Structure 1
Amino acid sequence: MVRKLKTAKTGANQMDIIKQAQAMQQEMLKIQEELKGKEVEASVGGGAVVVKANGQKEVLSISILEETIKDAVSDKEMLEDLVLSAVKEAMRQAEELSEKEMSRVTGGMNIPGLF
């Protein structure tokens, strides 16, 4: 009889864990959807290049000052470096935002492949 109770209790615990995991999954899907609407902005070179991205690490826009474009005629590599730096910073900020939002659900646990 004791053995059956343990089995029933273990089964109930497993069901609770499954329900919790499903609730967590739903919350994560909701947060991922919300991240589409959240933006980060990275500016480099004193505003010469500005990159906007959303919380899902999608680049939304790249703005380059007219003066920077004129300077790029003689220094193409400088413009490429500025754009690359701004994109990398925007992606870093988007990653940080995503991790912060997801940690609300995961309690700070690092779950591989989650985001």
Structure 2
Amino acid sequence: MAYDEGLAERIRELLVDQPDLSEKKMFGGLAFLVGGNMAVAASGQGGLLVRVDPDQTEELLASTAAFPMEMRGRSMKGWLRVDSTDVRTEQQLGAWVARGTSYAASLPPK
């Protein structure tokens, strides 16, 4: 499955003023990086992939509709998936994009 180009464009519009932003095809999707650190991606599996503080993973899983990102059958702390139905509005998408870019910007640049 290819990533949702409409979702990628919506993300791009939200990040137009983000300093040190780049895009890169990763994981079958289109990732948006801040300082070389992945923040969010239009996932090749559909929906949104969001990088968050690993210490907040459990709280976000319990309090939002996000679910764990799994790679090779293992959940990855600090990486969440959000279904496309949960980012339909700009407010919904904006909250996740802000969360991902904030965390990525807190990391040392690559």
| TM-score, structure 2 normalization | 0.24
Higher relative contact order (CA 8 A, sep 6+): 2
Larger strand percent:
2
> Which one has the bigger helix percentage?
1
